Amino acid sequence: MPDHDWARLATESLRRGDPAALAEVYDRLAAGVCASVVRATRLSTDFAMDCVHDTMLTLAAKPPRCGSEGELRAWMRTVAINHARTRLVSEVRRSRREAAVAEASDSTSAPVAPVAALEQHAQAREALALAQSALSREEFAVVDLVLWRGFTRRDAAGIVGKSLATVDRAMARALSIIRGSAG
């Protein structure tokens, strides 16, 4: 591929399913993207390479339209750092769940009866289903990003392309619906 527009040609080839184009992008950009993830997270190269590999899977599944190497590199860095953030949030949540389970098992308080726990779970599912049906697709996307995927409100605003005030209104509306249906 000619050097001056290889990224454009590679992304076009990726959209046609060419595995050689994926290898070309990996060979040219993976090391730089890995270094960016290491700098952003201050974690190991192994962690960063896992994020780069996730990025390559994303690239293969949904190649962007890029006109230059700089655009493709920026896209890959953004996606890799988002993968890193998702991995870190998942790890924090897993650690919190494990700590809560350990604390609950050490606690002398009476455990929640299995039937009561199932009823609480069913009520929560009903409240979430009601909230999802009452919210617009965009509002529910905001709720999903903030409450379940761990993004900040500011990040969610950027992802959905709306203002922070719009995100705050969507969150307030969703929480109001959930509280109203749970009460």
Asked whether the predicted pLDDT for residue 128 surpasses 90, the reply is no
Rounded CA-CA distance 136/83 in Å is 26
Question: What is this structure's pTM?
Answer: 0.55
Cα distances (Å, whole numbers) of residue 149 to 60, 91, 106: 23, 12, 29
Asked whether the predicted pLDDT for residue 24 surpasses 80, the reply is yes
Residue-range domain boundaries for the chain: 3-90, 112-182
CATH number assigned to the domain covering 112-182: 1.10.10.10
Topology agreement, domain 3-90 and domain 112-182: no
Q: What is the pLDDT of residue 125?
A: 66
Q: What is the pLDDT of residue 126?
A: 72
Q: Which CATH class is domain 3-90?
A: mainly alpha
Q: What is the pLDDT of residue 117?
A: 64
